């Protein structure tokens, strides 16, 4: 059974064989298909986007953007 290479050919992936994590990411990467019906939020004026961000991110707890690598339970 062959694995479909969506963005890269086997020849293009060959130099990354020594780096398994990068190879795996590249091997299974696919093109992002943009939804044409989606609202173009970024085209709004900055003042409106900032107001939306204030409403959306009105949390009392910090937002974690990177996953933790340990299994320790952190109470913030």
- List per-block mean pLDDT (blocks of 10 residues) for the chain, which spans 76 residues: 64 90 84 75 90 80 65 59
| Residue from 24, 27, 23 nearest 15 by CA | 23
Q: Pull the structure tokens for residue 11.
A: 């020849």
The residue with tokens 């890269």 is 8
Q: What 3-state class would DSSP assign to 42?
A: helix
pLDDT at 1: 45
Helices within the chain (DSSP H only): 10-13, 20-27, 46-56
pLDDT at 47: 93
Give me the phi and psi of 69, to 5 degrees please: -95, -15
Q: What secondary structure letter does DSSP report for 36?
A: T
pTM beyond cutoff 0.75? no
């Amino acid at each position: 059974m062959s694995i479909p290479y969506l963005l890269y050919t086997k020849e293009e992936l060959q130099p990354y064989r020594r780096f398994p994590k990068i190879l795996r990411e590249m091997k299974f990467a696919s093109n992002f298909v943009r939804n044409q019906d989606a609202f173009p939020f970024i085209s709004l004026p900055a003042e409106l986007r900032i107001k939306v961000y204030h409403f959306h991110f009105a949390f009392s707890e910090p937002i974690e953007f990177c996953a933790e690598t340990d299994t320790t339970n952190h109470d913030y």
